[in-house]
Amino acid sequence: MIYVREGVYEENVVIPSCKTNIVLIGDGSEVTFITGNRSVVDGWTTFRSATLAVSGEGFLARDITIQNRAGPEKHQAVALRVSADLAAFYRCTINGYQDTLYVHSFRQFYRECNISGTIDYIFGNAAAVFQACNIISRMPMPGQFTVITAQSRDTLDQYTGISIQNCSILATNELYRNSNNVKSYLGRPWRLYSTAVFLKSYIDDFIDPNGWRKWSSDEGLDTLYYGEYNNYGPGSITDDRVAWPGYHIMDYESAYDFAVSEFITSEAWLDSTWFPYDYGI
């Protein structure tokens, strides 16, 4: 267990795969910051740009802010990359612009976190569940749109996806004021079998009525799985959502497949974290 005292830590931190069961505990996400500014524009790969990169199984973090301050003009600039199984985050803030949170692989859980960004700011091929989080879209550069998820499942036999449950889908004041000119979406398919669902979440009305966006062609629209179940708020109305074969208005049974108990086998490991979680939906 590592106690990270109040302060701003300007560094890039790597937790390698050989370092398992590391726990980072801060004094609060409003006073404990790990911050960096690596970006693709400045010569880093997306993978290597992360301010905090976690590969060690069993990693836990609570009460810390992790951010990438590169800005929207620097394009891909990751704040947090997680390539570790059984990783969980509680009351953390994860801030960036494009590609903020790279849920790269394995099982991951996020509870009561604040996550902000512009384009594809929750992306990757993990099995990741978000509960009671604030997911906040920020103002992009002129001519750009915003999109929350870019999940990258690329084969049918993978058991991966992004499950957003009991969260609040919000915009910054600046984006909200400009929402008539800047389109915002719940997700777009990075790979053919892209999988993302929004369950029982509040969706504000800055989200475009279509809800979802193509990548650059019609590829994947019949193989992806995008779903919505019992969301509420002015942006949750599904009447004008996309008419893709892979888009679903979900029923209880299909939504339950994305609960922590089913999707990331919560009882096998989340109980030991002492982080709160909702077993079902």
Question: Residue 60 CA to chain centroid, in angstroms?
Answer: 16
Residue 270 is encoded by which pair of tokens?
A: 């989340």
Residue 120 annotated in active site: yes
Q: Which of 66, 70, 57, 55 is nearest to 14 (CA)?
A: 55
User: DSSP secondary-structure letter at 278?
Assistant: -
Answer whether 117's CB lies under 8 Å from 138's CB.
yes
Choice among 99, 120, 204, 208 that is catalytic: 120
What CA–CA distance (Å, rounded) separates 95 from 77? 10
Cα of first residue to Cα of last residue in the chain, in angstroms, is 31
CB atoms under 10 Å from CB of 58, counted, come to 17
List the catalytic residues. 120
